[in-house]
Structure 1
């Protein structure tokens, strides 16, 4: 299998971690979707990463679909519960974490792609408000628990770790570690896992 993605995308990092935790081999094909010569549309008409090319050549996207697909490839380290209610809880955590990533990407594009005089401060502020609201919810739900859901790591923790890690990379001024020390405790624990340390994005 081949995973098309970038080294800095939090969505790509999420599925890379899932594959590593599942001990399923997948080749990473690095692609810059913003480059003029990008060929991502040949695999995903939406022009987004990650995109998984299966052994039979079928393209699978987006990150939530790929993560769920990968979890079913091996019985090792079950990351999504089979019980319907618990499954929904883990997937809701993932949706919340992905929402942080969505808002962060939109805010970053507004700041980096538009000329300064065309940038919308209210638009960026709206995205920042979404991020702060999601962080508050995450911290409140996590409380003093060791993991986001249940008594072991799940896709919920992976998604949260990728979301807050992306904030550290692109929005260090948010300082969520000081505001929400329980999220930082979880993140530091996740960083001890080879899957997280191997996929840390380059700082440049």
Structure 2
């Protein structure tokens, strides 16, 4: 398999962490979707990463779709429960973490791509409200538990940690560690795993 992506995308990082935890072999191909010579749309018509190229030529995109597929390839390190409420719970954690990222990425794009006089501060604050509400909910739902869902590592933990890592990378001024010490503990614990050490955004 080949994974098209960047070292800064939190969605690509989520897929790379899952690949590592599942001990799956793949080639990582760097792709800058903002470059004039990008070829990403040859694989993903939406022009986004991550994008997974399978050995038979099939293509898969969207991190949520990709990680769900990867979890079926081997029973090693099962990350998504098979059925029912537990499965839905893990996927809800992923959706919440991804939603925080979506809002934060929109803020970054507004601040970096638009001239200051064209930026819509009211719209930016609306996105910030989603970020802070999402972080508060993740912290509340985690409580004092060791993992987000159940008693072992799942996609929920990976999704949350990739979100916190990206916020630290792109918005270091947000003091989420002080506001949400339980999220900081989870993030620090997961950051010791090789899958996270090898995928630090840069």
Deviations 1:47-72 (A, max 9, x none): 00000001111110100000001111
The alpha carbon displacement at 1:117 in A equals 0.8
Secondary structure of the 2:150 match is: coil
Are residue 23 (structure 1) and residue 23 (structure 2) matched?
yes
Q: CA RMSD in A?
A: 0.5
Are residue 88 (structure 1) and residue 88 (structure 2) matched?
yes
Are residue 169 (structure 1) and residue 163 (structure 2) matched?
no
Secondary structure of the 1:172 match is: coil
In structure 1, the partner of 2:51 is 51
The alpha carbon displacement at 1:164 in A equals 0.7
The alpha carbon displacement at 1:173 in A equals 1.4
Query: Unpaired runs of 5+ in structure 1?
Result: none
In structure 2, the partner of 1:198 is 198
Deviations 1:26-49 (A, max 9, x none): 111100001111100000000000
In structure 1, the partner of 2:9 is 9
In structure 1, the partner of 2:60 is 60
Structure 1 CA distance, aligned partners of 2:101 and 2:54?
Answer: 25
Secondary structure of the 2:173 match is: helix
Query: Unpaired runs of 5+ in structure 2?
Result: none
Scaled by the length of structure 1, what TM-score is found? 0.98
Deviations 1:158-184 (A, max 9, x none): 000000111001111111011000000
Secondary structure of the 1:28 match is: strand
Structure 1 CA distance, aligned partners of 2:168 and 2:17?
Answer: 18
In structure 2, the partner of 1:184 is 184
Structure 2 CA distance, aligned partners of 1:26 and 1:104?
Answer: 29
Are residue 75 (structure 1) and residue 75 (structure 2) matched?
yes
The alpha carbon displacement at 1:124 in A equals 1.1
In structure 1, the partner of 2:102 is 102
The alpha carbon displacement at 1:85 in A equals 1.1
Secondary structure of the 1:173 match is: coil
Structure 2 CA distance, aligned partners of 1:136 and 1:23?
Answer: 33
